[in-house]
């Protein structure tokens, strides 16, 4: 019996509602026979809806909600650590009863601290996938100068969790290279970039670069300030007959819908707030271009999916240090401005040879570096190494 404990901060019900259900996401290669998903919240997801994410494995879900009052409480370090350990104790007891061969941690949050404590108490190996660089994008930090004492305590709490948990991990797996400087700053000793394992069962390679009539553009991502496609909409107003589908939701959606009406684009822009990942992957090849703005220091999943089907990508340059994975001509990089998006899209829609060359170049690069079979096999091999060294290797 290969038993895997996965510790996540996410509310799985929300992932299901957004359509972010990917086969074997929490059990690559169907390696584990039994998967226990432990959430550091009180979510109660529909197990049948979550089951595809663990493949053929037997699924159980557990909860250990975070203690939201702890980060700001006063006290010397040993008292703060005692409080954290008291919070983690039920999770350690659960792991002792489950006897998992290895653990996977998604993100560096309360769940990382819990994995660290289980490892210290029981010797169960764990790996951590990181999806952001907290130095440039940290939802758990208060930023700026003149912070109140309680805000500084809050920041220190999560810094302690990250530093100790990441240093003690058997392997830290950033999902793209911009996370590496953060790990180097913390002195994390065991690091290997492991790109996201995507839905290879649904991704369908583009078979033709003949332009649709009317041309079709797709934009995928959460709609908020750092990923605001307003300039893409303004560019579209100068591109007659071109249609745009925006997949994703967020606080900017009402503003964007109003802007589309104001620009006279209501008939040419379609908003799809939630679309199952399988359906999205299957449709990508039917578009002519993928266009996106993001200020995040990352290559996000939706861009990887577009590249893997050979869809030409128009991508904004971020403010600050560039994303290394986007270099080398695999995407068309533009300024986040109306002229930037307009000029690139107009050229690619007019020049079929350039559009096809961009798509095929991105496809070849993605297949070499991000192909789902390769990325999944890499994680499976890591899991095998961890399980072999576990005190509970035989379940």
- 186-237: per-residue pLDDT in tens? 999 999 999 999 988 899 999 999 999 999 999 999 999 999 999 999 999 9
Task: Answer for the pair 318, 296: CB distance below 8 angstroms, yes or no.
Answer: yes
Collapsing DSSP states into helix, strand and coil, what is residue 6? strand
Q: Give the CA count within 13 Å in the CB-facing half-sphere of 32.
A: 31
CATH class of 216-369: alpha beta
Could you state, in order of their start, the residue ranges of all structural domains in the chain? 3-198+372-388, 216-369
Task: Answer for the pair 19, 274: CB distance below 8 angstroms, yes or no.
Answer: yes
Give the whole-angstrom CA distance, residue 179 versus residue 156: 20
Q: Give the CA count within 13 Å in the CB-facing half-sphere of 367.
A: 12
- 143-160: per-residue pLDDT in tens? 888 999 999 999 999 999
Partner residues linked to 292 by β-bridges = 315
Q: Is the pLDDT of residue 340 over 70?
A: yes
Which two structure tokens, joined as six digits, stand for 191?
A: 């690091």
Band of residue 18 on the pLDDT scale cut at 50, 70, 90: confident
The pTM score is 0.91
Band of residue 300 on the pLDDT scale cut at 50, 70, 90: very high
Q: Is the pLDDT of residue 394 over 80?
A: no
Which two structure tokens, joined as six digits, stand for 231?
A: 């300039």
The DSSP symbol for 358 reads: H
Q: Which residues contact 208 (CB under 8 A, 6 or more apart)?
A: none
Among 61-75, 132-146, 177-191, 281-295, whose mean pLDDT is lowest? 132-146
Q: Is the pLDDT of residue 37 over 90?
A: yes
Average pLDDT for residues 315-338, to the nearest whole number?
A: 96
Give the whole-angstrom CA distance, residue 179 versus residue 190: 14
Q: Which residues contact 187 (CB under 8 A, 6 or more apart)?
A: 167
Do 3-198+372-388 and 216-369 fold alike per CATH? yes
The structural architecture, per CATH, of the domain 3-198+372-388 is 3-Layer(aba) Sandwich (3.40)
The DSSP symbol for 108 reads: S
Residue 138 has what pLDDT?
Answer: 82
Phi, psi dihedrals of residue 8, rounded to the nearest 5°: -130, 150
């Amino acid at each position: 019996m290969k038993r895997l404990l996965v510790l996540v901060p996410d509310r799985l019900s929300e992932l299901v509602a957004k359509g972010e259900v990917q086969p074997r996401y929490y059990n690559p290669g169907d390696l584990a026979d039994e998967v226990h998903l432990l959430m550091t919240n009180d979510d109660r997801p529909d197990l049948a809806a979550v089951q595809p994410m663990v493949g053929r494995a037997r699924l159980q879900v557990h909860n250990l909600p975070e203690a939201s009052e702890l980060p700001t409480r006063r006290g010397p370090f040993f008292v703060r650590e005692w409080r954290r350990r008291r919070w983690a104790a039920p999770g350690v007891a659960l792991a002792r009863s489950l006897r998992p061969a290895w653990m996977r941690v998604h993100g560096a949050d309360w769940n990382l601290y819990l994995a660290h404590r289980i490892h210290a108490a029981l010797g169960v190996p764990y790996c951590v996938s990181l999806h952001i660089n907290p130095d440039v994008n940290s939802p758990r930090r208060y930023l700026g100068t003149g912070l109140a004492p309680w805000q500084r305590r809050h920041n220190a709490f999560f810094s302690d969790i990250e530093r100790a948990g990441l240093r003690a991990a058997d392997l830290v797996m950033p999902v793209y290279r911009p996370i590496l400087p953060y790990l180097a700053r913390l002195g994390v000793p065991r690091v290997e970039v492991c790109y996201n394992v995507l839905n290879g069962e649904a991704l369908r390679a583009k078979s033709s670069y003949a332009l649709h009539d009317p041309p079709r553009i797709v934009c995928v991502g959460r709609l908020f300030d750092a990923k605001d496609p307003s300039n893409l909409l303004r560019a579209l107003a100068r591109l007659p007959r071109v249609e745009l589908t925006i997949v994703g939701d967020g606080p900017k959606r009402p503003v964007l819908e109003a802007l589309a009406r104001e620009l006279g684009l209501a008939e040419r822009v379609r908003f799809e707030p939630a679309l199952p990942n399988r359906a999205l992957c299957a449709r990508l090849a039917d578009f002519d271009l993928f266009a996106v703005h993001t200020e995040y220091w990352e290559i996000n999943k939706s861009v990887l999916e577009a590249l893997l089907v050979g869809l030409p990508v128009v991508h904004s340059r971020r403010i600050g240090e560039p994303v290394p994975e986007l270099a080398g001509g695999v995407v068309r990089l533009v300024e986040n401005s109306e002229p930037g998006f307009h000029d690139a899209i107009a050229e690619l829609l007019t020049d079929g040879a350039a559009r096809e060359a961009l798509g095929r170049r991105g496809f070849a690069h993605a297949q070499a570096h991000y192909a789902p079979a390769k990325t999944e096999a890499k994680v499976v091999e890591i899991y095998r190494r961890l399980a072999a060294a576990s005190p509970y290797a035989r379940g």
